[in-house]
């Protein structure tokens, strides 16, 4: 690579990092002009960088010109804060070893959530889920705990944008029924996906709540229905909710 090209590439990377740092400043979400000034990057360049960060999941937007950190930014923050084999990883692996099922962490990104960590079960059947994969909110256990913690207007805006498309024969597709389900989630402190997103997959999830009380994502235990019954899965709820409280600070800085 010619020296001038290398310098330009380095400059682009540094500008993107400055923009990402500006997005993560306290007091957010931040608008384009504020991010541009804080990062010392022109507005057109800032807007272009934000589009790329948004597509990659490092930034989220409210759709009205304000931006905040996305799930991949939180995951990266947790990775640097704890190390790949640090405290958060240790906590997750301890939970997986105790329940002997697959565990996931997913963080909200706009109208869906993104898997940022997964530890597989040692059992013969593996989940098709993958880190970086998107999941809907209305029919997944993690999605339900996120929706349940949102204020009604924000929740309705998301559901209006996405609808309630059926993923399986068990998917809840009636708004009133989903609202009743979310009320139960708030009361119980956990959510269940009973083959609503994938046939033969049942999950239970607890919210990852940041310092302001907002659910930024969730922690789930996922099972294959013919390997573990519903009551056996629900027996894990106390350990699940305890672990979610321990993990939340790593993702909700």
62 and 77 in a common domain:
no
Q: Kindly tell me the sign of the dihedral angle through the C-alpha atoms of 59, 62, 68, 72.
A: negative
Domain CATH for 13? 1.10.10.10
Query: What pLDDT score does 79 carry?
Result: 60
Q: How many domains does the chain have?
A: 2
DSSP-assigned beta bridge partners for residue 93: none
242 and 178 in a common domain:
yes
For 132, residues 6+ apart whose C-beta sits below 8 A from its C-beta are: 57, 114, 115
34 and 84 in a common domain:
no
Instruction: Per residue of the chain (253 residues), give pLDDT as tens.
Output: 444 443 444 578 889 989 988 888 777 788 999 999 989 999 999 999 999 998 888 898 887 889 988 878 877 766 665 554 457 788 899 999 999 999 999 988 888 898 888 899 887 777 888 877 889 999 999 999 999 999 999 999 999 999 999 999 999 999 999 999 999 999 999 999 999 999 999 999 999 998 778 888 999 999 999 989 999 999 999 999 999 998 888 776 4
Three-state SS for 117? Answer: strand
Query: What pLDDT score does 114 carry?
Result: 85
219 and 179 in a common domain:
yes
Query: What pLDDT score does 1 carry?
Result: 40
Query: What pLDDT score does 233 carry?
Result: 96
150 and 57 in a common domain:
no
Domain finish residue from 14, 37, 69: 69
84 and 193 in a common domain:
yes
80 and 56 in a common domain:
no
Domain finish residue from 30, 54, 69: 69
For 208, residues 6+ apart whose C-beta sits below 8 A from its C-beta are: 105, 107, 215, 216, 217, 218, 219, 244, 247, 248, 251, 252
| Nearest residue to 236 (alpha-carbon basis) of 204, 197, 201 | 204
Triad 155, 24, 54: Cα angle to 5°: 60
Three-state SS for 112? Answer: strand
20 and 87 in a common domain:
no
CB 245 within 8 A of CB 211: no
Phi, psi at 193, each rounded to 5°: -110, 105
Query: What pLDDT score does 208 carry?
Result: 93
Phi-psi region of 40 (alpha: psi -120 to 50; beta: other; left: phi over 0): left
Residue 21 tokens, joined: 């740092």
Chain centre distance of CA 49: 22
96 and 58 in a common domain:
no
CB 223 within 8 A of CB 233: yes
Question: Which residue segment(s) compose the domain that 44 sits in?
Answer: 3-69
Triad 69, 129, 52: Cα angle to 5°: 30
Give the C-alpha separation, 165 to 120, whole Å.
28
240 and 203 in a common domain:
yes
Strand order of the sheet with strand 30-31? 30-31, 66-69, 59-61
Domain finish residue from 52, 69, 86: 69
Domain CATH for 103? 3.30.450.40
141 and 87 in a common domain:
yes
223 and 116 in a common domain:
yes
């Amino acid at each position: 690579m010619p020296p001038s090209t290398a310098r330009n590439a380095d400059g682009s990377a540094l500008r993107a990092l400055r923009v990402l740092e500006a997005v993560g400043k306290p007091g957010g979400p931040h608008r384009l002009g504020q991010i541009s000034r804080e990062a010392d990057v022109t507005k057109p360049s800032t807007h272009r960088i934000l589009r790329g960060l948004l597509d990659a999941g490092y930034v989220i937007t409210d759709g009205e010109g304000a931006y905040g950190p996305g799930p991949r930014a939180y995951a990266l923050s947790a990775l640097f804060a704890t190390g790949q084999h640090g405290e958060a990883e240790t906590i997750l692996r301890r939970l997986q070893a105790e329940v002997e099922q697959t565990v996931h962490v997913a963080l909200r990104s706009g109208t869906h959530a993104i898997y940022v960590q997964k530890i597989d079960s040692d059992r013969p059947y593996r989940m098709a889920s993958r880190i970086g994969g998107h999941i809907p909110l209305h029919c997944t256990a993690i999605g339900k705990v996120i929706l349940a913690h949102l204020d009604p207007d924000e929740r309705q805006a998301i559901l209006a944008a996405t609808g309630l498309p059926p993923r399986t024969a068990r998917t809840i597709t009636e708004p009133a029924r989903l609202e009743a389900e979310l009320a139960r989630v708030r009361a119980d402190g956990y959510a269940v996906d009973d083959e609503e997103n994938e046939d033969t997959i049942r999950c239970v999830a607890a919210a990852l709540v940041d310092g302001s009380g907002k659910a930024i994502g969730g922690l789930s235990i996922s099972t294959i229905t013919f390997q573990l019954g519903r009551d056996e899965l629900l027996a894990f709820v106390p350990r699940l909710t305890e672990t979610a409280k321990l993990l939340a600070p790593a993702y909700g800085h």
